[in-house]
Amino acid sequence: MKQTISVLVENQAGVLNRITSLFSRRAFNIHSLAVGVTDDPSVSRITIIVESGNSVMEQVEKQLNKLVEVIKVRTLEENSYIGRELMILKVSANSRTRPNIMTLCQICGAKVSDISPTSMTMELSDTPDRLDSFQEMMRTFNILEVVRTGVIALQKGGGKI
């Protein structure tokens, strides 16, 4: 089962290393990791997606809370948060394939960021499943490059971490 963990930390060098070390010592594979500053430049938010059981995650959450630089940790329950990932994807394109690519972009909500005589680059922000679907549809146009950010997430409603 995939777990989404949101961690507020002091924005200092070495914090990310200490946090990821907790996961690697327990042989957890981190599926997604995204870090960014918050509205307070001295605080960063780390969103981590890992595969594990609930009891193990409780232990990791306790260990994270023991780190001095960690301000707050919350495991986000499925359907209780909004999670998005950004993907930038480049495909081969010519005058014959460009209209088909544009149609798929319009249907999926992707934005064309760059066009050259031989390629097109699109960006799309959505759930990981929808990004996977878009990427699969683009395979027919010969994908040249793909980059994805990893999921960022916020709790739904009035609550906050």
Decide the pairing of beta strands 81-92 and 119-126.
Answer: antiparallel
How many Cβ atoms from other residues are within 10 Å of residue 100's Cβ?
13
pLDDT at 56 over 80: no
Q: Return the domain boundaries, the chain.
A: 2-78, 82-153
For residues 78 and 65, what is the distance between their CA atoms, to the nearest angstrom? 22
> Which of 4-8, 21-25, 29-33, 49-53 is the most confident on average?
4-8
For the ranges 5-9, 57-61, 94-98, 126-130, the lowest mean pLDDT is seen at: 57-61
pLDDT at 23 over 90: no
Q: Which CATH architecture has domain 82-153?
A: 2-Layer Sandwich (3.30)
Superfamily (CATH) of domain 2-78 = ACT domain (3.30.70.260)
| pLDDT score for 30 | 86
